[in-house]
Structure 1
Amino acid sequence: MNVSYILGLFLVFLVALIGGFVAKKLKFQPIIGYIIAGIVSSAILPIEKTRVQELAEFGSILLLFSIGLELSIEQFRSFFRRVLVSSTIQIIIVSIILFFVLKLFTVSNVTALVLSLGFSLSSTAVVVKMLFDRGESETIHGKIMTAWVLVQDLAVVPIMIILPLFASGAENIWLTSSIAIIKALSVIVVAFILGKSVVPYLIHKVAEMNSRELLLLTAVSLAVGTAAGVAYLGISPALGAFIAGFVISESQENHAVFTETRPLRDLFVALFFVTLGFFITPQLIIANIGKIVLISAILMVIKFLVTIFVSYLLKFKGKTMVVSSIGLAQVGEFAFIIFSSASILGIISPEDSAVGIAIGLLTLIISPFLYSKSYIFWKFLRSKFNIFSSLDRNLLEETSFSNHIIILGYGRVGSWVGKALIDQAIPFVVVDFNQQVVNECINYGINAIYGDPSENEVLDVVNIQLAKAVVIAIPDRISQESIITHIQTISPNTRIISRVHLDEDYEKLKNLKVDKLVQPEFEAATSIIKNILVTMGKGKDEVNKSIKSIRLSHAKI
């Protein structure tokens, strides 16, 4: 093997390590560090880029395979219809608007179409990380955003199908398109049939052998084999890997397969994104800096406004509508794969691909900062326009609640509290931002109001001043802080009991002088500890003493 090739491979992994480390320190996604590392290294290091890029293409195959593996209809079944419709409409509208915007920058029709399709997609990795970092994964807007980007991941299927058509130069584009679509649908149907019968059986039999090596080899063979098979049909090999992953996701062993393939995927994905950075030279950035910044700003504004519009039409309201729209305003990692594939196929120039990647990279860097200000921006919009309030105006009627309990959020925690109150015949009212939950409560004779519990207006409707206590069962700290502050302002004598998720959230809410904070994970730990001590033969007094000591330590956090 050529020594320069081995040296180049070593240097790529080295700069990926450095870029990933810096990105981690700055709390960015690793892919941002990888791409920037590629930009810097391409100008100063002697890397044989062509051969390394060929190997990096394997990274895109494994990336799409693992994304397909993580997809599950069950993840967004409760929002499936609305999110499927809204996400699809958003992609179409954003693509059309951005197409004409890009034409203003003297871009060719085909290039404008490819770039606009890529720009219409949002980043699964960034959205999931932003939600996790803020403890908002289980909120309504968190679930909607997650479902939204997962539907967009599925949208890459038709996009990758039509890409080769632009490179074919076919005179009868409709005939060529029809043939390509029939081929793709045939592959999907065959994959679905195999996914319900052959593949789960094969994976299960391999898993029964208790060999991690064989499970890994089986998974990679399925990914690469499917990629190679569809490539012969003129379909993107990366798309084939995505379909293979989606098929395996329906098997019982999908989590084990994901665990085994993830290290290999991460290795080659780092290689892939570093090589993407090779094409974004410092000279190209300097020459196009104005265009990159301007288009980045325009596309983020367009995506925000279109998502607001679509969300409003489909009955998403208030904070959910605004926060979700800001969180989905960036360009996703799938766009980079689309641009790279289009460049390899000769559909767009390497320079246009590089500019597109640079624009997407800038939105990824900006997005977490904008999302951190999303609540402030929502409150500003709410103060100016009534459509940004989540409260149904029909519910603004005088209520006779008094000496009651208010439960904010009727999910897993809130519903158990409600059941206990029903058993004790204690009056209570529920406020939840899930219309289905509210309807179910009403059907069971439970007083319930649809609205965002973090909106002051909503809280005022349920007579906080006359309530005995408020139970805050929603999970995100930002909303909790807003609710607590409002209650303490208008009804300082009302008792507040709040759940809390993270240790840092516990400390911040404790500073607000909340009457009682309950951390489900901590309570689970104390229950486990108690059972272990009893199992080990410890006496009741000794067990209680140990639990008391642990609670005192936790209170000092």
Structure 2
Amino acid sequence: MHTKLINDQLRAGIRNGGGAILAILIFGTVGYMQLEGWGALDAFYMTVITISTVGITEVHPLSDAGRMFTSLLIFGGVGVMAYSLGRFAEFMFQRSVTNVLGRRSMMKKIASMKQHIIICGYGRTGTRLVSEMMSAGKPFVVIDDNEDAAKRMDQLGIPHIPGDATEEETLEQANLQQAESLVAALGTDADNLFLTLTASGLSSELRIIARVHDPDNTRKFHKAGASRVVSPISTGVNQITQLLTRPYVVDLVELVASDKSIALEVIEHEIGDNSTMLNQSLAEARVRQTLGALVIAVKHNDGTTAFDPGPEMRLRLGDTLVAIRQPDESDQSI
């Protein structure tokens, strides 16, 4: 807030100085035209060389009145120029210091992040992801080497790292070892594939979600270490197919996902070492009372998923419960 106040004051100083310079130029031009009978161009040029004190010879010989006018113009013009240039230099210095300190503060914040999302690419996909992460309150950092994108993120206060996301050094600056997931949303499949290889090599535990333009490349991404591969083409075709075959189901899912007034959300709960649900059946674990949620699937540690599990299903270490609940209900201690 204090920095913003200083910047506003400096901008006001620059505006006032610019207005004063314009007034001096008009005053000098009109004065020479009236006193010496010069044309507008000669009068303007004489005014410029006078207030800038460059020492160039007079355009035309001056009368006594013209010399007096020139003297007054020098005193007034030099003062105005000194003030304006001083405010401009002060503004540029303050801006540089603010950028350096702001960048340092942002990098410090990124270095302290844990279980965050790394979004590589601030294009159409990246901007939508950022909006969703901000709405969900999920910590994230964006990597993009585009200068215009960096300026937009600076203005919006989005934590970001300007650089090549495929470089190990850039990923390490994003605190990759502490990240929960990485989204590869660069411009081409080749860049996303190389990014996936680099990221999976740096952290084998990292969940990598890669966007692929050509669905035929999906297998390559899985081999490179991607946990999930998303193809806009395949997703679009699947959605159209569902709209044609099961339109009411799609309408219901989209309504729940998009309408913020509907108090319903899907949650994931992992069964850890300290969970009271460990080695218990769903009936014994009393999930509905404990989590305040209805279990719709259980993802086992071996990668298989049991949908609509029965009450007799026993929960093992590493299992993940997928459930739906009212978001205003607070989680209870497990």
TM-score (structure 2 length as normaliser): 0.41
Larger-gyration structure (1/2): 2
Larger strand fraction of residues? 2
